[in-house]
Amino acid sequence: MSEPHAGDAHTPTGSAAPDDALASFIGKWRARWPEWALAETFVPPAQRETALAWAALQQELGDAAWGGRDARPGELKLGWWLEELQGWSQGRRRHPLGQALQRRPAPWAALAAALPGLAETRERPLDRAEAGAQLNGFAAAIAAIDAALFGAEPGSGDAAVVAAYLLHARLALEGERAAPLGVLARSGEAGAAAAWAEELRAHWPAEAAATVPRRLWAGLALARLRADDAARPLSPWRALWSAWRAARRRSGT
């Protein structure tokens, strides 16, 4: 079963060199988050390659779950990824991102087990509580991998920070289609995206995540919400300031 990739990214079995294929997936993430060119200076150098590949993988999974009007292609991608991540836990890999991630000791099988739950989040939630609850299992699996990859003790609020970041990612990808039904009913279709962004911003988790990369990703996402456009990159000054503030925070604060 071959993963159907969107856009011009290389397939795992294509003719591109492995390094080129890995760079293609990382490039897709950098294109969506150009702020990272500044923010990554706060990540320890030894963790930067892993952080990029891990961010790119999360983007691939989110795009599969929420992208496009037709759910079926995304379901097939997530099914492919379930098999791939199970293989990572057994020492096998096919996807270029596995070049940077598969050998890292992390609970890849638990992430694979959480993918069916991620697929179910495509259904529009009723409200913010349900939107967060839909992501509980997947967010917990992501937080556990954060801790394993970056050598941190998992924090009690890590999964909530991950869930907030994922809700932002869905809003940036889908716009008003990401808004819960209750928000849509109150604000109408034209105002749903802005109203949902405001609600996410107002209820952003107060506790910092345990790892520097997660604090940076969450900090940049929150800064975009504060700038009133979930998908628009921050100005260089705002990106650097937001990253600095996020990096200096500590878990539990």
User: May I ask the CATH architecture of the domain 18-248?
Assistant: Orthogonal Bundle (1.10)
- pLDDT, tens digit, for every residue of 155-200? 889 999 999 999 999 999 999 999 999 999 999 999 999 999 999 9
Q: Exposure string (b/e) for 197-219, b if CB count within 10 Å is 16 or more?
A: bebbbeebbebbbbbbbbbbbbb
Cβ neighbours for 61, distance < 8 A, ≥ 6 positions apart: 78, 81, 115, 118
Q: Is there a contact between 62 and 221 (Cβ–Cβ < 8 Å)? A: no
For residue 1, pLDDT over 60 is answered with no
- pLDDT, tens digit, for every residue of 83-124? 999 999 999 999 999 999 999 999 999 999 999 999 999 999
The DSSP string of 157-169 is: THHHHHHHHHHHH
pLDDT at 154: 83
Would you list the domain boundaries of the chain? Answer: 18-248
In the chain, % helix, strand, coil (3-state, to 5) comes to 70, 0, 30
